[in-house]
A and B are shown apart, each in its own frame.
Chain A
């Protein structure tokens, strides 16, 4: 069992996981496409509403290519997506990519900022509260985080608005972004949405970090570490944390994925011009190509994050790192 061999086996696992992620993406694109096409509703009729004459229906079907077989439309759509062409919006007649891309950028900025702030904060607080299990700090974070995972995003959003915008007047209540704004203005505009998102995911990550650590803390090797005379912080940081790393990473990825979804509601609360707001609007208008494109982008981000998390978890697993 040489070193070369195990590195081989580990990279094989990584490649396998990446391949699985790719496969999942293809499966999801098919699911989204066929799912929306095969559901018993007629897009053309929905689009025309009350004024649907048979002739108009026929014309619009022809225009949308709805008379061709589904698998053919799927392949055309997929190859278009791979070339960055998501089709044409039914509502505006403009290119979907043109409408989606700038807004996607806005959304990613929001999610990224929230992620960068919340992940270290959550892991730090989770570790701190596991170290003082049962103490005042631990009980307080436990109750507060339980409350914060229980409340809807818009509740947190509006409470922040009431406090910081309506009462204190420090920050704007709406997060409108115009091309002419300076960086400072932009940051001020997105502070409240970012704060909301941070609060939404922080609590969950904190709780999971704490409980992953504590489940490791009840193992015999932790007892052994105490019996060797080590103090609690050494035991937690040196013995428990490395073994809890994999579940913690999984939870972080899951929550970053959740961030991508939670952003939809937060964007609506703050009227932020992001992809989530766009998706909600196009669902209301039943603009199918736009909905599909948004759905695919959100789902792909989610799958991508999960794949990366699993790969990192493989990398940190001591049993996989060092073979028998």
Chain B
């Protein structure tokens, strides 16, 4: 085994893992661990931190910590669902296109390339302007748009696997597409796909947060980190840090996930190249 795998992960990676576990745990256990109810009012707008409200209160006088914990539910849950949809569509179509090849591959790839030429933010703004911003519309739109990005990665990964000779052996045996994709190709493409899933999740998560921040994502009164930044943005002008709490929560989760993905990706790669000049 290579030493990079054997060595204990650095402290920063351990911290990242702890952060991700804490946030996901908070999302799952929100009703049991939140100190108050989601829309309990305390009367003071942007109140300072106190024993009752550890992080103070928000723009309507609700407990910031409670809102954050419930917000984790919505934000993380919706991002997870969207990532799952994007992966289901992207990986399936990418692998089928790469293994079938020919005109199917060309046609799908051309269509995807055109979609890729429009930034996701622009295309989703267009869709939202027509369909409105209900949660199913958000999930469906972003899922489909992001699946084009997943498609590109999945197809590239699948192509590096299809050219390997054991796939030719299976095809020459007369195996069907399902065996070739599920038994021969997918097991050999897992590492890059897992890394991509992590990156894609943090991207989608950030994206939904940004939409909510723009007022076009998840709508009040549901608690959600992006909208919380928006609702509390005015506090900045009074020298208060209210919007920084939800913004930091967003940043912490994505930093955590990206650190883990980075660690995962480098543990799969070549040994560090700095030994080159001994």
Contact = CB atoms under 8 A, between A and B. Distances in A.
- Judged by CB atoms under 8 Å, the answer to whether A and B touch is yes
Interface of A: 24, 27-28, 31-32, 35-36, 39-41, 43, 46, 133-135, 143, 146-147, 149-155, 158-159, 161-162, 166-167, 173, 214, 217-218, 223, 226, 232, 257-258, 260-261, 264-265, 268-269, 279-280, 282-284, 286-288, 291-292, 294-295, 298-299, 302-303, 306
A147 B255 CA distance: 5
B274 interface: yes
B272 A134 contact: yes
A164 to B, nearest CB: 12
A138 B132 CA distance: 46
Contact of A152 (B115, B125, B250, B262): B250
A226 B129 contact: no
A149 B258 CA distance: 9
Contacts of A218: 270, 273
Nearest to A134: B274
B210 interface: yes
Contacts of B131: 39-41
Contacts of A280: 125, 214-216
A199 B39 CA distance: 36
A36 B215 contact: no
B210 A35 contact: no
Contacts, number: 153
Given A146-B259, A173-B236, A280-B125, A31 B114 contact: yes
Contacts of A258: 119
Give the contact-size bracket for chain B: 35 or more
Interface string B106-117: 000000011101
Contacts of B126: 32, 35-36, 291-292, 295
A43 B131 CA distance: 9
A46 B130 CA distance: 8
Contact of B119 (A146, A147, A260, A284): A260
For chain A, what secondary structure do more than half of its interface residues adopt (helix, strand, loop), or is it mixed?
Answer: helix
B129 A150 contact: no
Interface in B108-153: 113-115, 117-119, 121-123, 125-132
A302 B119 contact: yes
Given A146-B255, A286-B129, A291-B125, A152 B206 contact: yes
22 contacts: A27-B114, A36-B129, A39-B130, A134-B274, A135-B274, A147-B251, A150-B251, A151-B250, A152-B210, A153-B210, A154-B229, A154-B247, A155-B244, A158-B236, A158-B243, A158-B247, A173-B237, A217-B273, A218-B273, A264-B214, A298-B119, A302-B117
Contacts of A134: 272-274
Contacts of A32: 118, 126
B256 to A, nearest CB: 8
B216 A155 contact: no
Nearest to A264: B121
B128 A283 contact: yes
B248 interface: yes
A288 B129 contact: yes
Nearest to A286: B129
A265 B210 contact: yes
Interface string B229-255: 100010011010101100110110011
For chain B, what secondary structure do more than half of its interface residues adopt (helix, strand, loop), or is it mixed?
Answer: helix
Q: Could you say which of A161, A261, A283, A284 has the most chain B C-beta atoms within 10 Å of its C-beta?
A: A283
A295 B216 CA distance: 16
Contacts of B239: 166-167
B99 interface: no
B113 to A, nearest CB: 8
- Top 9 closest pairs, chain A to chain B, by CB: A134-B274, A151-B251, A150-B254, A155-B247, A150-B255, A41-B130, A261-B119, A283-B129, A39-B130
Nearest to B210: A265
Nearest to A232: B277
Contacts of A282: 129
B125 A279 contact: yes
B204 interface: no
Contacts of A154: 210, 213, 229, 247
B134 to A, nearest CB: 11
Contact of B258 (A35, A46, A146, A260): A146
B103 to A, nearest CB: 19
Nearest to A231: B277
Interface in B256-278: 257-259, 262, 270, 272-274, 276-277
Interface string B190-215: 00000000000010001001100111
B130 A43 contact: yes
A154 B119 CA distance: 18
Given A134-B274, A154-B229, A264-B214, 8 more contacts: A27-B114, A32-B126, A134-B273, A155-B251, A162-B241, A167-B239, A280-B214, A287-B129
Contact of A155 (B122, B127, B128, B250): B250
